Structure 1
């Protein structure tokens, strides 16, 4: 099924898709497209998997650019090939991350990878980081953000997630 057909299935309430950990809703896509920077700035999605969420964001708003970062190009199904970046293994970093205006981590596996990205590439170009995942996992990540330059945390409500999922937007304090 192509991204256009999938986008027509989106409802205000979250729906599970077989190739995305996160339940996705039209409400969530609208929220993320309003949050993420517009071109020429871009967002990277670290551990983008199939690219379904990223593909839906770009499909909804052509002024938003989201590039995927993954360890295996065969996993990607929805991100344009020119916007897909491959790293060498689960701890590999993509050096162009330092040029992105925003980073997105969807159901990340290890808090240490976020710390590694922030310590290595979290310079002044990165305005904010979006973390999406299970509420129960957030405490494992919270300390990493609180001890980083991205310690100003917000928890948006009513953005089309399941009750067991959350989104956190981490910014630099003013």
Structure 2
């Protein structure tokens, strides 16, 4: 099924897809599209997996560019090859992150990886980091953000997530 076909099937209620951890809704895609930077800047999505979420965002707003980052390219099904970055191992960092204006972490596996990204590439032009995952996991990640320059945290509400998921937007503290 193409991204356009999947996009047309989305509703305001989150749906599960076999190749994405996150429940996806039209409301979530619209919200992410509205907060992510517009061209010529771009977003890096660390651990993009199949690229379904990222492709749906780009399909919704052609002025948004999302580059995926994954350990291997074989899992990617939806992100254009020129927007896919491959790192070696779960601790590999994507150098494209240093030019990105935003990062997304969707169901990340280890809080220390976020710390490593912030410590290595968290300078300007980075403006925001979107963390999406289970509410129960957030406390393990919150400390990494609170102890970084991205400690200004907001928790958008009514954005089309499942009841057990949360999005946190981290911005540089003044």
Say whether the fold is shared (TM-score over 0.5): yes
User: Displaced runs of 4+ in structure 1, greater than 3 A?
Assistant: none
State the match for 1:48 in structure 2: 48
C-alpha separation between the residues in 1 aligned to 2:63 and 2:165? 27
Is 1:145–2:145 an aligned residue pair?
Answer: yes
Shift of 1:95: 1.2
Is 1:66–2:54 an aligned residue pair?
Answer: no
C-alpha separation between the residues in 2 aligned to 1:90 and 1:56? 25
State the match for 1:121 in structure 2: 121
Write out per-residue CA displacement over residues 92-143 of structure 1, whole angstroms, 9 at most, x where no aligned residue: 0011211000000000000000000000000111001000000000000000
C-alpha separation between the residues in 2 aligned to 1:81 and 1:9? 25
State the match for 1:96 in structure 2: 96
TM-score by length of 1: 0.99
Shift of 1:47: 0.3
Q: Secondary structure at the match of 1:169?
A: strand
Q: Aligned residues, how many?
A: 174
C-alpha separation between the residues in 1 aligned to 2:168 and 2:66? 18
Q: Secondary structure at the match of 2:124?
A: coil
C-alpha separation between the residues in 1 aligned to 2:123 and 2:144? 16
C-alpha separation between the residues in 1 aligned to 2:103 and 2:143? 18
Which runs of structure 2 are paired with 1:154-165 in the superposition (5 Å)?
A: 154-165=154-165
Runs of at least 5 residues in structure 2 that lack an aligned partner in the other structure: none
Alpha-carbon contact 2:152-2:173 (below 8 Å) kept: yes
Q: CA RMSD in A?
A: 0.5
Shift of 1:64: 0.1
Runs of at least 5 residues in structure 1 that lack an aligned partner in the other structure: none
Alpha-carbon contact 2:44-2:96 (below 8 Å) kept: no
